[in-house]
Amino acid sequence: MSLFGTTYPPIDLDGAVVVISGGGRGIGRATAELIATRGALVCVGDLDEETAVDTAASIGARARGYALDVTSRESWDVFVSTVIGEFGHIDILVNNAGVMPLGGFLDESDATSRVTLDVNVWGPIHGMRAVLPGMVDRRRGHVVNIASMAGKLPVPGMAVYNASKFGAVGLSASARVEFADLGVSVSAVLPSAVRTGLSSGVPLGKGMPTVEPEVVARAVVDTVAHRRAETTVPRYLAGWDLVDAVVPEWMINIGRRVVDDRRALTSVDPNGRADYEKRVARQAENGVRNPK
């Protein structure tokens, strides 16, 4: 580390080997599609192996699809060893897999809360522990953890999800400092509401910044060049830490009422969200914890 900061070894996306968890749908798929256009070799991991393979096939010869349960360190180890066996190393890890149950804190089952923490916190932990040793040995590499503005901004009806994303932000920040002198960068991307299956049935807009998965994908790919610690999507949300520090709580609460921050408790369309919630509940009951 230099006096004025860290200079990381550059990574040329043309020919880079990239692994993406939860890559079959949503942000993961959009990222895989975009980064492949830059010449990268993309390895899509997803609990739904068929979806991972189909996504890779739609991208073309520069992509491969694999089964991956992010809550299992063994599954990560098999995935990573397979990728390294085929391509020799990993340049970029994108920890994208995530779940977002909604509802009252006291109404949420322990099994659902456990799923949320297992996927959103243990998923990145397992992924980093599986991939970072090779990056450290090569003294080059880049990790992107897809967190959320919910890792900065508490929202009623998302208490355990908030906890998981606060955890992902803290994990990223600490690991970034720990590995900076070893040539490996760790960046967190914090989207606002994203139009994917995770937000199905939730009324978006109405003062809540909302983005498409392709916009988040561009932010993920851009981190390979700038290596910033955090990137919010949209970018103007980067000022939230300052707002939270200096604006009185009563003023923030007025803003919350204006944007209806309780919509996760009061305004969710149960029909529109039913399929997603059933997948989460079914996989929680079965002990399989990476619904996408």
What is the pLDDT averaged over residues 87-91?
A: 98
Q: How far apart are CA 169 and CA 165, in angstroms?
A: 6
Q: Does residue 282 have a pLDDT over 80? A: no
Any residues with CB less than 8 A from the CB of 28 and at least 6 apart, and which? Answer: 20, 21, 22, 44, 46, 94, 96, 97, 292
Q: How far apart are CA 191 and CA 151, in angstroms?
A: 10
- Of 146, 149, 206, which Cα lies nearest the Cα of 25? 146
Tell me if 87 sits within 8 A of 68, measured CB to CB: no
Sign of the torsion angle spanned by Cα atoms 234, 238, 241, 246: negative
What is the pLDDT averaged over residues 163-177?
A: 97
Q: In the annotation, is 161 catalytic?
A: yes
Say what the pLDDT of residue 238 is: 80
pTM value surpassing 0.85: yes
Q: Does residue 2 have a pLDDT over 50? A: no
Number of alpha helices (DSSP H) and beta strands (DSSP E) in the chain: 11, 9
Q: Does residue 287 have a pLDDT over 80? A: no
**What ranges make up the beta strands (E) of 60-153?**
63-67, 92-95, 141-146
Query: Of residues 8, 66, 161, 276, which has the active-site annotation?
Result: 161
Percentage of the chain with pLDDT > 90?
68
Say what the pLDDT of residue 291 is: 42
Q: Does residue 138 have a pLDDT over 60? A: yes
